[in-house]
Structure 1
Amino acid sequence: MAPRTFALALILCVALAAALRLPQLSLRPMHGDEAVHAVKCWELYATGRYAYDPVEFHGPTLYYATLPILRLSAARDFASTTATTYRLAPAVAGVGLVLLAWLLADGVGRSAALWAGLLTAVSPALVYYSRYYIQETLLVFFAALAIGCGWRYGLSRRAGWAIATGAALGLMHATKETAIIAWGCMAAGLAAAWFPLRSRAQACPARLRDGGLALGAAVLTSVLLFSAMFSNARGPLDSLRAYGVYVSRAGGGGAAGDHTHPWDAYLRWFGYWQSGRGPVFSEAGVLLLALVGIAAAARGVEPDPRRRALARFLAVYGCLMPVVYSALPYKTPWSFIGAWHGLILLAGLGAARLTARAADIAGARAGRDRLSRAGLARAVPGGAALVACALVAWNLAVQAQRASTRFAADPRNPYVYAHPLHGVERMLAWIERLAAVSPEGRDTTIQVIGENPWPLPWYLRGFARVGYWDDSPERLDAPIIIACNAGEHLGVRLGDAYQASHYGLRPDAILTVYCERSLYERFARAAATAASEPATRVVDEP
């Protein structure tokens, strides 16, 4: 493939990725995790202060990546920000992930890099979680950046690429604690790539210097972010202490037990999923192409030893990541997308290998050569492989669009995990209608009762007087009371003084909104007046 053709095709893949990731970012209700991160990010933006918590919330790169968007949005306060404001940062990272295939093009071949870029662009999982305000997409982006820059350094031995590799590794650490899993798999891949070349390896001073530069860049980048630009000395130390917490969590301990799943959960979520009469979601085509890529890497068909080494690295990295994540009891679908991208890189190798003979179609000559039996024997398998791979990509794109739009908050979507329903948006609309007729307006007092109120703090951010309780407080007298999975005792306690309405928060959680009877009657009178106004205007018309 000519360089210009590759560049144009990769740009088209980037455009496709943008078309799937950027539109309608506010379509889906905010997940509880997204709401938490939005609050943390706004605190950083509004106060300029950040303190890393080794128990929750992960690293700060997501928040710092969002700051330019917040500045451009000219948001006056937290209430004036939108879901799009926050989700734009990971969406852009998801688009950029496609572009990073360029870094590996002369290592895996332009065709393989292009296929990897296309599959990255249309993968339903990668598309869906690129539209999610959590750390995973940034972590995958920085991991791919580290691999790409590491390959560029291996080719050129330029110190700049070593520094870029180290900075990317540092950004991984400052994004999420699970970066250590990717580092371990990268180290194993490097060992597999280096071992056959060990007789040629030389620990020359320049390489030792570049290794030191990479390490320094990684440490400096991580410390800079965890310390909030050197304003919090505890941050870098807490980032190391956090691993005690996350080792326990990865084993399913504590509250993480809610996310304990069997070893094959990722295979079911990503390989084949159908819930009830819902649509089939399957990225099995990526798995099949990845198997071909693994076989090609194992055979070592590349004549250049450095390209063979890169293929071995990708094979080991791409195989180990799914194994490690599947072995951990703690599982969420978004945790796996880093491993999935490793498999997509291998799938790019596999697709390129399968379609290598497709060039015979374009190269067929008119006349006897075109109709010769040998020419057809070469062209037909290659053409069939090309069509099959294209159909895989097309099917994934259709699924990605479906998962991110119509089924964006539907429990039948495997990527919808512990996710709020649209009922939370209807609840907000009801509360806003009540506030519109309340004498206090948006200063109306709201009491929220429930152990885990998220994402309600996001949806109620426009109200000035909101309080949260794990259990029913002694004093319950707010005009509006919201309870999650409220028992009968709360309704009995409030009696006829409140009007109740119900909204789905999640499939296993119901929100009950209790509206003070006097406020409800005020709303009913206002609604009746509004309903009668059109008829009055018709009668009064001359």
Structure 2
Amino acid sequence: MVSARSGRRRAVVAVAAATLLALALRFAFLGERVFHWDEARVGYWILQYQASGEYAYRAIVHGPFVFHVNEFLFGLFGTSDFVARAVVAAVGGLFPLSALLFRTRLDDVEVAALAGLLALNPLLVYYSRFMRSDVLVAAFAVTALGLVVRAMDTRKGGYLVAAGAFLALAFASKENALVYVGMFAGATALLFDARLFTARTRGESWESAAHDQLRWAARGLLAWRRALAGAALAFLAVTVLFYAPRPAFYDAFGDPSLIPGVLADATWGAWQEFWGTWGVGGVSREQSYVAFLEHAVRTLGATSLMLSAAAVVGFLAERYVADDPRDLVLFAGYWGVASVVVYPVITDISGHWSVTHAVVPLAIPAAVGFRLVVDRGRRALQSDDRVGVGLAALVLLAAVAQMGVVTAETSYIMPQDDDNTLVQYGQPASDMRETLDAVESVAESHDDGTDVLFFGDHFHVYGDYDKTEPSGVADTNWFNRLPLPWYLERAGAVTDSTVSVSDLTNCERSVTDREFESCRAPVVIARAGHYGDLNPVLSERGYESWTYELTSRNTIFVVWVDTDAAGYPSS
């Protein structure tokens, strides 16, 4: 008993150490990488929410969690890349703690290994340092599952209520929380099928086994009815908190007559918005399922090779070797494989971030695989088998080294290089931080008309448009400017665009006010192909230029800044 308690204590210490390491890895140099296009578009509309106080769920920019949390954080700490990513980094850094929720279903080494994998996996580290909601939904959904397991193992209904709240947080983070629920249901169905299939080995018929399982489930639902009701209420409360429109949500506290409408908007209204965007509209893309699946498998191999190999070993050992296969390990194995296969069907962009939803469940059987290596090393040590000890140590060292090296390369050494396995097309390849700082400083100081002028068909938005709403800029060239709108909006920059060179050359008062303002804009941005037309005019007027890649490749653009403008950094 003392030995078991001591082992459990060591597991808790290991999980705590893994969590501290995870937090350090996620917060170190968090603001260094320039925003990805996806980070920028969501960040831009969070700034619009902060400025207007008005929010309504828009499925195209995913769940409301980061909107409300970051709107609050921006008010406290200001707007920066670091602050915008902090909530994802915090949740991702605390994710290893969820391993403790499975401590009755995994042994001490497996709990520690699971925490280590969640802390060190390169995919999870990279996307915990990214203002996307994939790590959020994964962490919240897995925590909800762990709380359900704890409720079953301790018979305490409070865990189930907490599970309802965390599941709601997963739904508030991103719509694919629905996929997690589907995966949970599918994996449970496979466990049920296994009970029926193996009934003959226990001297039962499959019919009697099915009857016993269904009766057990019905009794459980009846016994847990109060806790289930509490979980449902917790789910509803958190859902309304995040999905309710603003300022109607706050107004309802002073006017109870608004409550029914707010509840409807936060539930049925949100569902209609989701279904209208991702259900009826479906997934629109050009590449095939096979191409997306191949991309996902390659990403797994490049970033999570040791985890994937350990997951295969752990699942097979649990399924075919263990005397009493554990439901949790089989459940996670089914869930992980299904995620690899299903996500290429439901994603519209072949983004590496979707692979995180396979890595997370695979970490559980992978922890079992690494425990098998530790057990082999222990037996070798007891029998004085130095070769066996060395091989076990080598495997574990190789696993840690693989995760460490890939994490260092992808998150710190080359976080936005095209050679980085995890860099997606929308990530600017150039480190333009110094120039962006100069542009923001000039825009903040300039108070006479247009601050930033975009030039050329690639950036020009024709006609009237409402850039404060995602639907207002749909199918326009505004998206070609990303991630610049995030940086310009937080500086309060007044922007405009043109396709006419004369707008930059006719600076006489005889032209229209708009032409005069455009001509005097202290910042001009254009594709590199326009350099020959613009640079002679702008350089003569004292503008300095810098050239960067606005995406990971083949989108070269030029930024000109008036070196005499107020706010331009002195050398």
Flag structure 2 segments of 5+ consecutive residues without an equivalent: 196-208, 250-261, 460-476, 504-513
**Counterparts of 2:110 and 2:91, CA distance in 1:** 21
CA contact (8 A) 2:310 2:367 kept: yes
Q: Within the alignment, does 1:339 sit opposite 2:354 as a pair?
A: no
Work out which of the residue numbers 485, 501, 526 in structure 2 matches 1:457.
485
Choose the corresponding residue for 1:252, options 269, 284, 302. Answer: 284
Q: 1:398 aligns to what?
A: 405
Which letter maps to 1:508? N
Separation in structure 1 between the aligned mates of residue 297 and residue 498 of structure 2, nearest angstrom: 37
The yes-or-no answer on 1:120 pairing with 2:127 is no
Shift of the 495–170 alpha-carbon distance from structure 1 to 2, 3 Å rule, reads closer
Q: Does the CA-based 8 Å contact 1:194-1:309 persist in structure 2?
A: no
CA distance in 1, matches of 2:311, 2:125: 19
In structure 1, the partner of 2:67 is 63
Q: Deviations over 1:392-449 (max 9, x none)?
A: 123202221221112011111111112013353243255468679x8x4797622235
Name the count of aligned residue pairs: 487
Q: Deviations over 1:257-286 (max 9, x none)?
A: 7999432101112313xxxxxxxxx42111
Do structure 1's residue 33 and structure 2's residue 63 form an aligned pair? no
Q: Give me the whole-angstrom Cα distance separating, in 1, the residues matched to 2:123 and 2:379.
A: 34
Equivalence for 1:497: 537
**Pairing of 1:138-537 with structure 2 (within 5 A):** 138-195=136-193, 196=195, 199=212, 201-204=216-219, 205-228=222-245, 231=249, 232=262, 233-241=264-272, 242-247=274-279, 251-253=283-285, 261-272=291-302, 282-299=303-320, 301=322, 303=324, 308-328=326-346, 330=348, 331-360=350-379, 364=382, 375-376=383-384, 380-381=387-388, 384-417=391-424, 418-429=426-437, 431=439, 440=446, 445-449=451-455, 450=459, 451=477, 452=479, 453-461=481-489, 463-469=491-497, 475=515, 476-485=518-527, 487-488=529-530, 492=533, 496-499=536-539, 501=545, 502-506=547-551, 507-514=553-560, 519=562, 522=564
Would the alpha carbon gap of residues 471 and 414 (structure 1) be closer, same or farther in structure 2, given more than 3 Å must change? farther
Q: Secondary structure at the match of 1:214?
A: helix
Which secondary structure does the structure 2 equivalent of 1:355 belong to? Answer: helix
TM-score, L = length of structure 2: 0.76
Note if contact 1:101-1:116 (Cα within 8 Å) is conserved in structure 2: yes
Taking structure 1 as reference, are residues 465 and 152 closer, same or farther at Cα in structure 2, changes over 3 Å only?
closer
Query: 1:179 Cα deviation (Å)?
Result: 1.4
Contact 1:435 1:442 in 2 (8 A): no
Aligned equivalents of 1:435 and 1:68: distance in 2?
24
TM-score, with length taken from structure 1: 0.80
Shift in Å, 1:52: 0.6
Cα pair 1:53 1:238 within 8 Å, conserved = no
Give, in whole Å, the separation in 2 of the partners of 1:202 and 1:462: 53
Q: Which secondary structure state, in structure 2, belongs to the residue aligned with residue 203 of structure 1?
A: helix
Check whether the contact 2:245–2:265 (CA below 8 A) recurs between aligned residues. no
The whole-number CA distance in structure 2 between the counterparts of 1:433 and 1:327 is 44
Partner of 1:369: none
Cα pair 1:442 1:464 within 8 Å, conserved: no
